[in-house]
Amino acid sequence: MTNHPTTPGAQANSFDAIVIGSGISGGWAAKELCEAGLRTLVLERGRPVEHVKDYPTALSHPWDFAHRGRLPLAVTRANPVVARCGAFNESSQHFFVKDQDHPYVQEKPFDWIRGYQVGGKSLIWARQTQRWSRFDFEGPAREGYADWPISYDDLAPWYSHVEKFVGISGHRDGLETLPDGEFLPAWEMNAVELQARRGIMKAFPGRSVIQGRCAHLTAPQPHHLEQGRGRCQARNQCSRGCPFGGYFSSNSSTLPWAARTGRLTLRPHSVVESILHDEATGRAQGVRVIDALTRQTTDFFARVVFVNASCLNTNLVLLNSRSRRFPAGLGNDHGLLGRHVAFHNYRGTLRGRVEGFEDSYYSGRRPTQPMMPNFRNVGRQEMEFLGGYMTFFNAHRLGWAQGNVTRGVGAGFKETLSRPGPWMISMMMQGETVPRHENHVRLSADLKDAWGMPQLITAVGYHRNDDLLTRDFLEQGQELLAAAGAKDIVTQDSGQAPGLDIHEMGGVRMGRNPKQSLLNRWNQLHACPNVFVTDGACMASTGSQNPSITYMALAARAAHHAVEELKKGNL
């Protein structure tokens, strides 16, 4: 049943703006829109999670957990996809979607990791944040696999805007490949990492080892304290939710801030079925919601709609928004909706041991690690593969778990295990993948979920380019670790399915040409300008950076544009 905006009773369901999704980008859209004076409805399909109050395990000790952090076979067997996610464990499982509750179809293997609750994956994200550089926008255009309608210069002021509010720790390194941001003090490196850095930068002039940049309050500023957040306590138990507000999440930051304006309405348990399109005006008029608990359908109306349901769900909602004008999904005049989905390549890892430094240790648990910005194909095509990769590494001393692979019994053995063991370095990659037409998601014609929504089919896989890039990372990684002073270096290509990166992007890509893209330079659907997409779905290429800070900047920028357009009467 359609509730037309003029139907009696619909007033209560009318807002200035609707935001679909309360995660890391939806929270930002809500904050900006509310601050600008718009009465904003945020629709979240999952349950409420109130900052601090709803973090049941935040201060738990290891012995408080029946399995000391491990998960029962009953859980892992019933949920093989999410069980592969490293952050999914006994202390955090309540913030992850269980496979069995939200089935989807893997036409090719794809591990779709989701967090359906207020705050979404902003509760469980890795909090690593790096700005895109101009090379990341220009490279894909030069090589012809993306047509970004914006440049780094367009986004730079918005990076600054979001970084200040979020609170980003980092060091001003002066690198064009990874621009500096608005930084709070950086985290320290340990002695072995410092040696690694010296060795690598001496052996490879032009490559940089820098400290990781992350969304943690190392020195909260007045506006952070005003948010009710405090200094990061170096616990590194973030995926439980942080009672100190030390890292950025919608729950600790943007949503309460939006609520303070008095203009936020947050509606959990709201599954968005579709965006309602009015053929007469050519605009979206609102959103149809299925109540997750009662299955009742309600229509909500607004002048602008922000779609921040997280990449694949945003694709799903748009594909499911069919009308006479858009039989293939909202804005989809050319069949590109759901196409050019890409992700980050996490296949390669290395480790090695470092001798010495027996008298050096560390204290506290650092929530970031040293990294190297991409050094491949920067500014020109040099390699056999397209794109580049970021490298992360950390050095640590083995703990009692070395006993699992060591012979020993009794008091002496226990004493040895109780002391810090030898130093190890672990290294991982974050590889760009090239968006391809054949990598796509689409709706199942017959399978439905518990709310009657069509299930999503994921048809996203690797390409030879990914194999070549992985191989280069592993070759380079060996040289880097050797220069770092590591011995007995071991490489691994896990061959894992895409998805565990949890950086899936695309499907509703930005572009200059409406015939080859879905969104314009302001993240508006070319074909329906009062609908904005500012989550991962909007990305025309993946870069090698952790993407969330870019989503936040795009969301803030697009929200401001939406407000300007509303004031001018264009929307």
Partner 1 sequence: MGAVGDTLLPATPGSPGAGEVGIGRFVTTLLNDCHPIEAAEAVRAELRGLEERVRELGGSRFEGWDAVHREALLVEREAVAFSATPGNGRLHPYRLIKSLVLLGYFTSEAGATQALRYDPVPGAYHGQVPLAPGEHSWAL
The CA distance from 24 to 386, in Å, is 29
Residue 53 engages partner 1 in binding (rule: CB under 8 A):
no
Q: Residues with Cβ < 8 Å from 314, sequence gap 6 or more?
A: 20, 21, 307, 308, 507, 508, 533, 535, 536, 537
Tokens found for residue 491: 């490489």
If one asks whether residue 364 binds partner 1 (CB under 8 A), the answer comes out as yes
Whole-angstrom Cα distance, residue 2 to residue 323? 13
Contact at 8 Å (CB) between 442 and 365?
Answer: no
Residues 487-526 that bind partner 1 (CB under 8 A): none
Let me know: does 195 contact 173? Beta carbons within 8 Å. no
CA distance 359 to 126: 31
Nearer to partner 1, 157 or 399 (CB): 399
Tokens 């039989």 locate to 327
Residues with Cβ < 8 Å from 411, sequence gap 6 or more?
Answer: none
Q: Is 411 in the site for partner 1 (CB under 8 A)?
A: yes
366 Cβ partners below 8 Å, 6+ apart?
187, 188, 234, 236
363 binds partner 1 (CB under 8 A): yes
Q: Which is nearer to partner 1, 172 or 365 (CB)?
A: 365
Site string for partner 1, 329-358 (x = CB under 8 A): -----------------------------x
Nearer Cβ to partner 1 (6/404): 404
At what angle are helices 191-203 and 464-483 packed, to 10 degrees? 110
Shortest distance, position 252 Cβ to partner 1, whole Å: 17
Least distance from C-beta 111 to partner 1, angstroms?
Answer: 21
CB of 199 to partner 1, least distance (A): 17
Q: Which is nearer to partner 1, 214 or 307 (CB)?
A: 214
The only residue of 403, 454, 461, 514 in contact with partner 1, by rule CB under 8 A: 403
Q: Could you tell me which residues are beta bridge partners of residue 391?
A: 372, 429
Q: Which is nearer to partner 1, 204 or 244 (CB)?
A: 244
| Residues 440, 388: Cα–Cα separation, whole Å | 22
280: contact with partner 1 by CB under 8 A: no
CB of 336 to partner 1, least distance (A): 45
Instruction: Tell me how far apart the alpha carbons of residues 368 and 105 are, in angstroms, rounded to a whole number.
Output: 34
Instruction: Give the binding range for partner 1 (CB under 8 A) out of 66-74, 122-130, 160-168, 496-504.
Output: 66-74
420 binds partner 1 (CB under 8 A): yes
Q: Which position among 205, 294, 359, 569 is part of the footprint of partner 1 (CB under 8 A)?
A: 359
With CB under 8 A as the contact rule, the residue among 142, 223, 365, 437 that binds partner 1 is 365
Does 73 engage in binding with partner 1 (CB under 8 A)?
A: yes
Residue 213 CB, nearest approach to partner 1 (Å)? 15
> In this chain, which of 6, 8, 12, 61 binds partner 1, going by CB under 8 A?
61
Vertex 334: Cα angle to 331 and 336 (nearest 5): 80
When binding is defined by CB under 8 A, the residue of 53, 142, 295, 414 that contacts partner 1 is 414
Query: Among 7, 11, 59, 355, which residue sits at the site for partner 1 (rule: CB under 8 A)?
Result: 59
Question: Does 100 help bind partner 1 (rule: CB under 8 A)?
Answer: no
Distance CA 504, CA 460 (A): 10
Query: Given the complex with partner 1, which of 421 and 498 has the nearer CB atom?
Result: 421
Q: Is 86 in the site for partner 1 (CB under 8 A)?
A: no
- Per CB under 8 A, 397 contacts partner 1: yes
Q: b/e map of 79-94 (b: 16 or more CB within 10 Å)? A: bebbbebebbbbbbbb
Please, what is the minimum distance in Å from the beta carbon of residue 288 to partner 1? 43
* Stretch of 72-80, 105-113, 503-511, 560-568 lying at the interface with partner 1 (CB under 8 A): 72-80
Binding mask 217-256 for partner 1 (x = CB under 8 A): ----------------xxx---------------------
Q: How far apart are CA 298 and CA 290, in angstroms?
A: 7
Cβ 398 to partner 1 shortest distance, Å: 9
- Which string of x and - marks every residue 180-219 that binds partner 1 (by CB under 8 A)? -------xxxxx-xx-------------------------
By CB under 8 A, is residue 362 in contact with partner 1?
yes
Answer yes or no: are the C-beta atoms of 29 and 534 closer than 8 Å: yes
- Sorted by sequence, the CB contacts under 8 Å of residue 189 that are 6+ apart come out as 197, 211, 370
Least Cβ distance, residue 390 to partner 1 (angstroms): 21
Distance, in Å, from the CA atom of 461 to the CA atom of 486, rounded to the nearest integer, reads 33
> CB of 225: closest distance to partner 1 in angstroms?
17
* Residues with Cβ within 8 Å of residue 348, at least 6 apart in sequence: 428, 429, 431, 470, 473, 474, 477, 491, 492, 493, 494
Question: How near is the Cβ of 243 to partner 1 at its closest, in Å?
Answer: 10
- The piece of 286-294, 324-332, 415-423, 558-566 that touches partner 1 (CB under 8 A) is 415-423
To the nearest whole angstrom, how small is the minimum distance from the Cβ of residue 192 to partner 1?
10
C-beta neighbour count of 149 within 10 angstroms: 18
Q: How far is CA 71 from CA 91, 92, 100, 377, in A?
A: 9, 10, 16, 42
Q: Using CB under 8 A, count the residues that bind partner 1.
A: 51
Could you say whether residue 361 binds partner 1 (CB under 8 A)?
A: yes
Q: What residues numbered 136-155 form the site for partner 1, per CB under 8 A?
A: none
570 binds partner 1 (CB under 8 A): no
Q: Are 480 and 208 contacting, i.e. CB atoms less than 8 angstroms apart?
A: no
Return the ∠ at Cα 79 (arms to 78 and 81), rounded to 5°. Answer: 145
Q: Which residues are at the interface with partner 1 (CB under 8 A)?
A: 59, 61-63, 66-74, 187-191, 193-194, 233-235, 358-366, 397, 399-401, 403-404, 407-411, 413-415, 417-421
